């Protein structure tokens, strides 16, 4: 299959997760086979972080989770203190996760909590002052809102989630926001709104994490999707959302291959190489390739990530 890839260079995976030390070797071994030579690692274990720094220098750009429990209760001081320390600790960016179901995991979230509340302004100000990009996950696929988030009084509608992010970007236009999952808007009907974000906020970039979400949605109108990728070629980073310790060669390979088929080929109706839980009862997910030009692929797989995060040290 690798003979058919248009792009032959190294790949920077701008969205991975790392856990305990004993899960790292296998991840790296598999990644090596698929041409991944650098990556953002969202850290889930202090020991894993130390082991990764020690064993794999020049491989990782590390992202530190900010305390969701503190943010959820508008406790900004410990979060600001954390941001001030983050770079010295060896991280290059911060991470927060506001997939709507975050409210299932944190106790006593104040009613009507909003990420655009002015109470959180000091956090965004600290990110700006410390020149620390924020990988910020908001909303989720349209399919999740249909299947899992019917309780809009708790989770909000997708639009309500997106508007809060938009307000944050408007008020903090100097912070570098790395918004994963295509800004949660790879659905074709959402591309115009995502385009308006990219036009209005020059400091934001998006990544392509979640191979099945990207493949499922962008395949639905290859002409519009291709046009978007080419127009915003400088702002999109390849990413997978793969986690160390989760899955094997086949698990990883399915995710890489799905995206490479999508970005690089002109194949039509290729079945997603693994199951898509969101469509398994409604016909499955099929990939239609966007056949992107090589100059766009170079930016997507490598150059854009290096421009923001530099070569890992
Ligand atoms: Zn992720």
Specify the number of domains making up the chain.
1
Cα-to-centroid distance, 95 and ligand 1 (Å): 9
Provide the residue range defining the domain that includes 147. 2-309
For residue 303, give both structure tokens: 């150059």
> What CATH number is given to the structural domain containing 142?
3.20.20.140
Cα-to-centroid distance, 196 and ligand 1 (Å): 24
pTM: 0.96
Predicted confidence (pLDDT) at residue 283 exceeds the cutoff of 60: yes
Predicted confidence (pLDDT) at residue 2 exceeds the cutoff of 60: no
Contact predicate 130/101, CB 8 Å:
no
Cα-to-centroid distance, 136 and ligand 1 (Å): 10
- pLDDT tens string 232-269: 999 999 999 999 988 889 999 999 999 999 999 999 99
Cα-to-centroid distance, 241 and ligand 1 (Å): 5
In which band, very low, low, confident or very high, does the pLDDT at 313 lie, cut at 50, 70 and 90? low
Report the distance separating Cα 272 and Cα 251, nearest Å. 12
In which band, very low, low, confident or very high, does the pLDDT at 146 lie, cut at 50, 70 and 90? very high
**DSSP string covering 111-171:** TT--TT-GGGHHHHHHHHHTT--EEEEES--HHHHHHT---HHHH--HHHHHHHHHHHHHH
Using a 10 angstrom Cβ sphere, with 0-12 exposed, 13-18 middle and 19 or more buried, the burial of residue 114 is: middle
Cα-to-centroid distance, 179 and ligand 1 (Å): 11
Cα-to-centroid distance, 15 and ligand 1 (Å): 6
- pLDDT tens string 54-66: 999 999 999 999 9
Q: Would you state the pLDDT for residue 1?
A: 52
Cα-to-centroid distance, 244 and ligand 1 (Å): 12
Predicted confidence (pLDDT) at residue 10 exceeds the cutoff of 60: yes
Ranges 9-18, 100-109, 136-145: which has the least confidence = 100-109
Cα-to-centroid distance, 92 and ligand 1 (Å): 16
Q: Would you state the pLDDT for residue 41?
A: 98
């Amino acid at each position: 299959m690798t003979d058919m890839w248009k792009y032959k260079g190294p790949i920077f995976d701008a969205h991975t997760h790392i856990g305990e030390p004993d899960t790292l070797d296998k991840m790296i071994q598999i990644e090596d086979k698929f041409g991944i030579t650098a990556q953002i690692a969202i850290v889930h274990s202090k020991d894993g972080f130390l082991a990764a720094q020690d064993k794999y220098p020049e491989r990782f750009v590390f992202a530190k989770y900010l305390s969701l429990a503190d943010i959820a209760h508008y406790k900004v001081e410990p979060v600001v203190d954390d941001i001030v320390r983050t770079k010295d600790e060896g991280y290059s960016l911060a991470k927060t996760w506001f997939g709507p179901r975050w409210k299932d995991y944190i106790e006593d979230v104040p009613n009507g909590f909003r990420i655009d509340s002015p109470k959180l302004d000091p956090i965004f100000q600290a990110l700006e002052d410390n020149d620390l990009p924020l990988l910020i996950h908001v909303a989720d696929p349209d399919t999740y809102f249909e299947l899992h988030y019917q309780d809009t009084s708790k989770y909000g509608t997708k639009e309500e989630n997106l508007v809060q992010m938009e307000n944050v970007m408007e008020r903090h236009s100097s912070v570098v926001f790395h918004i994963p999952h295509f800004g949660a808007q790879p659905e074709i009907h959402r591309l115009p709104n995502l385009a308006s974000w990219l036009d209005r906020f020059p400091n934001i970039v998006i990544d392509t994490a979640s191979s099945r979400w990207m493949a499922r949605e962008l395949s639905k109108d290859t002409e519009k999707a291709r046009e978007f990728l080419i127009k915003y070629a400088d702002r999109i980073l390849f990413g997978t959302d793969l986690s160390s310790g989760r899955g094997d060669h086949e698990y990883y390979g399915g995710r890489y291959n799905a995206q490479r088929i999508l970005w690089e080929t002109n194949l039509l109706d290729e079945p997603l190489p693994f199951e898509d839980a969101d469509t398994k009862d409604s016909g499955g997910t099929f990939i239609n390739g966007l056949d992107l030009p090589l100059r766009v692929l170079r930016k997507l797989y490598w150059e854009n990530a290096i421009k923001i995060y530099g070569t890992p040290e």
